[in-house]
Structure 1
């Protein structure tokens, strides 16, 4: 059996029509969902991009001890194991963090193609002496403005957009490789990750007539009040337009699969790694706390149609990807790979499945001052203990070493997580907290993480955790096409 993965960075579960969204336009994903098994509770474990890909390739929980680091030399991974078992394996992506700074996520594959120019990719170095940035500080970084200028100014047509080039490269690869006895194709599209710059007609589908500044990469944090209602609406429209653009080009790949007669022998898996906070809880950005970020897209279409049209409610996570593909292909897990995830294939075929009682999610190591792991590690400042999120599918716990920062929600009654029941439901808190401690112990988390959540922060130095996390994160500095001497970035 061939396997094709289409991974979409930052695609929210609730921004797919088939997942109950009545206003988003995702016709290709919707049609695919009708032929696939749709997982309604696939939750991120590690967060964001790089720790997530570690989990998917290794089948092991990264949270709460997998930092933002390169793929280790010699690591046994799913694509490497498939290659050694005779599969032709290919990696086509535009996700800069998987390649820049020698991160090496291409190494396990037979071949790879890196589509240049998205987000932090150190691609273009075009000169400028002064760049005017509108928006009054509502954009994320000055560095982002230079990226907009240097990289994205060369993408004039829809066909020049990164997602279009990634999916076109995948189609071309399929044209030349459909004859292989068996192949594994990993397509990693960084869209709909910010910045959101789809052609204007996609944005007009959701916010026609807007005349303000297009804030393609809004500043992160508890900053919702910095944005006017019109700006908030347009930011959401920019993202929605990017999702619809992505959907169109995914459709090209799905069409190519059918044109080449591959449907009958190819499993197709469409996934996302995490979502995005669009002003919910007053926040902009990404925190692995609430459903809008934690709940992700996962759809699986098998050649024999097993599970087609079904909705799967069981709790699954990204470390389950590797054991599931081993299960689909019949390739044995290499000795020493030490898989921690569990195959979801029985959920499609009707076999036995040991259901999870809870999932744990978090953004990087949670035993140091990591509300903003990047800023904290780089600036060396304490900003509060990082939370971990635990859920059984109904009760949703945001656990924290600081009791004053704990939150508990009944998402059946309160899907928008607005009514904090921590302190009112001690039994549910105790049960989910016990699930967290059990997860940390079984996952062989560092003792500092277990102690922090089991016993509290007394005696724990935040710098101790930061020292574990920061080394190797950015070997040559911040991964941005940065503002250089002689460059002036002016804000209105």
Structure 2
């Protein structure tokens, strides 16, 4: 009996081990077929400042590499061109009027399900590092270190599960260090991962590292053809927006002239104390060693300003501000590109690249002097369009471009389908998988919907909604005006001429208005909902004042 018992025990043990081995094999096979997701996003990174789109300003070899090994979308765009609303749309796969985050101040509807929650529930290991921009406790992530609010470039604070911490260094480098440390030390190799790697840069006020200051200060960049746009062929919105380089870009806060220099000159109106304090607070975050590295460049800027500004014409002043802006903005992007390269190299060196879907994007576009502007918010291309480069070896053919109208609204569904996770019925985007896998015939969208709400507010960009196709753009500006604008995107790519009233475009206007109303119904937007958000905004403003 004892011998028989031992035999059965041996058989049972053998079967158990075989079963465990088979289950482990099944898990490994499952994990190999479910890709890792690496979502890389910068803040306010204009597509014009990525050499995969145009190399007239800067070379970005590491970001370009994603596109060279995958796909570059040339008509990627956002639903609402402002930071927190864009991020809420990305996380939920829903327009901002549905998730509640219509502007930077309106609260996010925390009952909304985000795609990281679905990944976490489906067995993915999830993490988020860098700039979220709303909320201090992101849902659906196993590990996070996020910048509070806008975050700081120099010696930034971070919010973690274990409380707040300050890390000495530069935000772009630190966010990358945290990301690489997680990949190397905290990642569970038996699970696929969904990792959000989110840069503060190149958000205003554009503080480069001393090394990048040295490289970029004094460089001259090509002047946009529309830098001196007078908005003569457009409506009230373009004429009244407050983001002109000459008029609205700040001497101290933005171009980094010492406050004392402005005060001593007496010929330049001093900036309001809040902006001077914001500059001082940023600089004073630096250690004495860091200040010693930054000071020579700040001294040089101030010396140039003091000696040359008073004698400049308005045109020359506009160009001076543009060059200062580009020097700092592009220096910040250069650091982002360097650090993206570090992460891509890590994937290659650790055999993770083959099964990782890598995305590079921004939360929206940005003006780099086009039409005389900085910032974003408009439905016009520089603001509305966003960079989007995606790599997925063996799934996406290398080196292709696509001009279909895709949006940040589509990211959640795309990632969920790629990971074989069920997509909730209430998400409003469309998975990009047909475009990623060369099944374009399955892609049916021919127009996208846009709606901007934050007005009256900073930069004074009027409320508007609209429809955009590959060929045309129709926008309705409302609230304190009732104006329509139409642009022929093929004949007028710089959007200089509103042809809404041109009889030659009457049929285009008629057809687009019909399509626009259908989109508003499809996405559950309406004039009543507009009024609801107007009432909330006015109530909030009344309490503030």
TM range (shorter): 0.7 to 0.9
**Matched residue, 1:414:** 492
**Matched residue, 1:297:** 387
CA contact (8 A) 1:56 1:318 kept: yes
CA contact (8 A) 2:218 2:327 kept: no
Give 1:201 deviation, angstroms: 4.7
Whether 2:176 is the aligned partner of 1:108: answer no
Cα distance change, pair 264–209 in 1 and its aligned pair in 2 (3 A): closer
Q: Distance in 2 between matches of 1:208 and 1:469?
A: 43
Kindly report which structure 2 residues correspond to 1:53-452, keeping only aligned pairs within 5 A, or say none. Answer: 53-63=87-97, 66-68=101-103, 69-95=106-132, 97-99=133-135, 102=136, 104=137, 106-115=138-147, 118-119=150-151, 160-176=169-185, 177=187, 179-203=189-213, 205=215, 208=218, 221-226=242-247, 227-334=317-424, 338-351=426-439, 352-364=441-453, 370-373=454-457, 386-401=463-478, 405-424=483-502, 425-449=505-529
Give 1:190 deviation, angstroms: 1.9
**Superposed CA offset, 1:71-126 (max 9, x none):** 4444322110111111111111134x224xx4x4x1221221124695479x989x
Q: Distance in 2 between matches of 1:384 and 1:246?
A: 29
Q: Distance in 2 between matches of 1:362 and 1:317?
A: 13
Q: Distance in 2 between matches of 1:347 and 1:51?
A: 25
Unaligned runs of 5+ in 1: 126-153, 211-219, 365-369, 376-382, 451-461, 479-492
Aligned residues: 405
**Superposed CA offset, 1:182-226 (max 9, x none):** 11101121211111111355356555279xxxxxxxxx8153343
CA contact (8 A) 1:388 1:400 kept: yes
CA contact (8 A) 2:176 2:339 kept: yes
Give 1:305 deviation, angstroms: 4.3
Give 1:32 deviation, angstroms: 2.1
| Residue in structure 2 matching 1:16, options 44, 47, 50 | 50
Cα distance change, pair 426–155 in 1 and its aligned pair in 2 (3 A): farther
Structure with greater helix share of residues? 2
Q: Distance in 2 between matches of 1:396 and 1:240?
A: 29
Cα distance change, pair 259–469 in 1 and its aligned pair in 2 (3 A): farther
Q: Distance in 1 between matches of 2:341 and 2:178?
A: 14
Q: Distance in 2 between matches of 1:38 and 1:348?
A: 10
Give 1:10 deviation, angstroms: 0.7
Structure with the greater alpha carbon radius of gyration: 2
Give 1:13 deviation, angstroms: 1.2
* CA RMSD across the alignment: 3.2
Give 1:23 deviation, angstroms: 3.4
Give 1:394 deviation, angstroms: 1.9
**Superposed CA offset, 1:150-174 (max 9, x none):** xxxx998xxx221111111111111
Unaligned runs of 5+ in 2: 1-34, 158-165, 221-240, 248-316
Give 1:345 deviation, angstroms: 0.8
Cα distance change, pair 32–75 in 1 and its aligned pair in 2 (3 A): same
**Matched residue, 1:5:** 39
